[in-house]
Structure 1
Amino acid sequence: MELQQMRYVVAVAETSNFTRAAERCHVVQSALSHQIKRLEHELGAALFARTSRQVRLTAAGEAFLPAARQALEAAERAAADAAATVGEVRGRLSVGVIPTVAAVDVPAALRDLRRRHPQVRVSLRTGPSELLTADVAAGRLDVAFLGLPSSARPSGVHRHELARDRLVAVLAADHPLAGAEGLALADLAAEPFVDFPYGSAGRAQTDQAFAHAGLGRDVAFEVTDAPLMAQIIRHRLAIGFLPSTYLRRAPELGGLATATVTDAPSRVEYVVWGKPGPTPATRAFLTAIGLPTALVGGR
């Protein structure tokens, strides 16, 4: 059994097509098909059910795929660790980012990483904090940027606190409370709200603040990203809460007004990475965002 055969199996499984898998692996289809048939013969079981219309994993293929992925990841990690001993950082870096990250300029950090280590290949994914944390803990992501209520802490991962911030009320420019200062949550409780989905860390920040104040509210709209939230607010359908630092760095939110709230929600931004320790590419990226070398070791 060879690593290249495993790569071919993973490619076919992910594309459900031998032609596209061959293109991804930069080989002719006949060579890819031949190697997979050789592997199936060695295993004594078919990994794919092939028809004229589709390719799907068999039960044996479903059982084989997770371990094949792990073997490929382990081989890539071994090569990256060996290269790192002579100062060469390479491999893959997968980064998860919440939509409202503000404590770190992620593109700027990636620019610096790219300049120093051009052989690192990066994948980026946005999502809610709770899912990103789970993906880092499970090894599906190398590093993630989170925003959590001040009462919460990421678990199952290495973590470093980046910043603390208060949320501000965001309103349409012509809203009667636009620009107001020193409001209380009670002054806004009767308004319709737009917020992140129920159960998410982004939503929990505001839910907890209203609960602590003994207030209810009407969340009339749920969205998954801040730009869409801005559109809802801009059309005077609702008001919302967003971190003040994010608002200062988000040009797509221009034309909206804010109001300060004395008992406003707060959040803590974290960067997290997996256990038992980061890959060389992850260490290089964490260093690029300013984390101390001793902390980044994380072993």
Structure 2
Amino acid sequence: MELQQLRYVVAVAETNSFTRAAERCHVVQSALSHQIARMERELGARLFERTSRRVRLTPAGAAFLPAARQCLDAAERAAAEVAAAVGEVRGRLAVGLIPTVSAVDVPAMLREFRRRHPHVRIGLRVGASEDLAEQVEQGTIDVAFLGLPTTARPRGVAVQELARDRLVAVVAPDHPLAGESAVDLRRLSSEVFVDLPAGTAGRAQSDQAFAAAGLDRDVAFEVTTADYITRLVGQDLCVAMLPAAFAPQLSGVVTLAIDDAPARVEYVVWNRFSPTPAATAFLSLIDIPHPHQPADDRAGDAAH
């Protein structure tokens, strides 16, 4: 069994096509098909069901795929470790972030990282804090920037606090509150809201604040990106609450302070056991020079 064969299997599984897989792997289709057939004979099982319309994994193929990916990741990690040992950072870097990250300028960090390490391939994933933390723990993401209520803290990963922030109210320019300098949760509770989906960490900070104040609110709109939150608010369909440090990036809306605003904490997290050379180099840009240090030993590190 060869690494190239594993790459072919993964490519077919991800594209559902031998033709597209061959294009991705820069080989002729006949060569790719021959190598996969050879592997199937070696394994004694078919990995793909082929029809004139589609290609899909068999149960044996579905069982084989995760291990194939792990083998390829291990091989790439080995090559990256060797490169790092001779002073060159290679491989891949997967960075996760919430839509409203503001404690660090991620694009600027990536620009500097790319300048220093041009051979690293970079992937960005935007998502919810709890999902990103889980992916870091599982090793599918190297580093993630999260935002959590003050009542929560990332588990199962190495973590460092970056900043603390409070939420502000966001309203349309012609909304009755737009001329106010500040508002409180009781006044906001009479408004129609847009927020992140129920059950997410980004939503929890607001839900907890209203519940603690003994107030109910109407969340009529649920979206997954800050951009769409702002667009709906701009149409005067609803109001929102977003981090104060993120507010300067907003346009077409008005922000105002909340007297009893909920707070949140931004963290950077990474795999607590085996950060890659690329992850280690990336973390050094935010003054985390020793990411191999156990997470529990870093719990008391000062926020930036």
Same fold (TM over 0.5): yes
Q: Take 1:68 and 1:33, find their aligned partners in 2: how far apart are those partners?
A: 17
Q: Take 2:272 and 2:3, find their aligned partners in 1: how far apart are those partners?
A: 25
Contact kept, 8 Å, 1:91 with 1:121, in 2: the verdict is yes
2:49 alignment partner, SS class: strand
Q: Give the structure 1 partner of residue 288 of structure 2.
A: 292
1:264 aligned residue (257, 261, 265): 261
2:271 aligned residue (263, 274, 292): 274
CA displacement 1:110-143 (0-9 Å, x = unmatched): 1111111111001111111111111111111111
2:214 alignment partner, SS class: coil
1:297 alignment partner, SS class: coil
Q: Take 1:51 and 1:112, find their aligned partners in 2: how far apart are those partners?
A: 48
1:269 alignment partner, SS class: strand
Contact kept, 8 Å, 1:180 with 1:260, in 2: the verdict is no
AA at the equivalent of 1:177: L
Contact kept, 8 Å, 1:180 with 1:258, in 2: the verdict is no
Show the 5 A alignment for 1:110-189.
110-189=110-189
1:260 alignment partner, SS class: strand
2:220 alignment partner, SS class: strand
> Structure 1 stretches of 5 or more lacking a match?
none
Could you say what the CA RMSD is over the residues aligned between the two structures, in angstroms?
1.2
2:269 alignment partner, SS class: strand
Q: Give the structure 1 partner of residue 301 of structure 2.
A: none
Contact kept, 8 Å, 1:120 with 1:281, in 2: the verdict is yes
Show the 5 A alignment for 1:7-46.
7-46=7-46
Q: Give the structure 2 partner of residue 241 of structure 1.
A: 241
Percentage of pairs with the same residue: 64
Deviation of 1:297 after TM superposition, in Å, equals 2.8
Q: Take 2:157 and 2:142, find their aligned partners in 1: how far apart are those partners?
A: 10
Contact kept, 8 Å, 2:16 with 2:54, in 1: the verdict is yes
Deviation of 1:55 after TM superposition, in Å, equals 1.0
Q: Take 1:260 and 1:170, find their aligned partners in 2: how far apart are those partners?
A: 9
Q: Give the structure 2 partner of residue 255 of structure 1.
A: 252
AA at the equivalent of 2:292: G
Q: Take 1:18 and 1:298, find their aligned partners in 2: how far apart are those partners?
A: 44
Q: Take 1:57 and 1:298, find their aligned partners in 2: how far apart are those partners?
A: 41
Q: Take 2:288 and 2:127, find their aligned partners in 1: how far apart are those partners?
A: 26
Could you state the TM-score of these two structures normalised by the residue count of structure 2?
0.94
Deviation of 1:255 after TM superposition, in Å, equals 2.5
**Equivalenced residues, count:** 294
Contact kept, 8 Å, 1:278 with 1:298, in 2: the verdict is no
AA at the equivalent of 1:214: G
Q: Take 2:203 and 2:288, find their aligned partners in 1: how far apart are those partners?
A: 31
Deviation of 1:179 after TM superposition, in Å, equals 4.4
2:245 alignment partner, SS class: helix
Q: Take 1:292 and 1:198, find their aligned partners in 2: how far apart are those partners?
A: 33
Q: Give the structure 1 partner of residue 109 of structure 2.
A: 109
Contact kept, 8 Å, 2:273 with 2:292, in 1: the verdict is no
CA displacement 1:51-100 (0-9 Å, x = unmatched): 11111111211111111110110111111011101111000111111111
Deviation of 1:230 after TM superposition, in Å, equals 1.0
Contact kept, 8 Å, 2:272 with 2:292, in 1: the verdict is no
Runs of 4+ in structure 1 over 3 Å off: none
Could you state the TM-score of these two structures normalised by the residue count of structure 1?
0.95
Q: Take 2:176 and 2:163, find their aligned partners in 1: how far apart are those partners?
A: 32
Q: Take 1:246 and 1:281, find their aligned partners in 2: how far apart are those partners?
A: 28
**1:192 has 2:192 as partner:** yes
> Structure 2 stretches of 5 or more lacking a match?
295-304
Instruction: Please identify, of 56-65 and 110-119, the stretch whose mean Cα deviation from structure 2 is larger.
Output: 56-65
Deviation of 1:232 after TM superposition, in Å, equals 1.3
1:96 alignment partner, SS class: strand
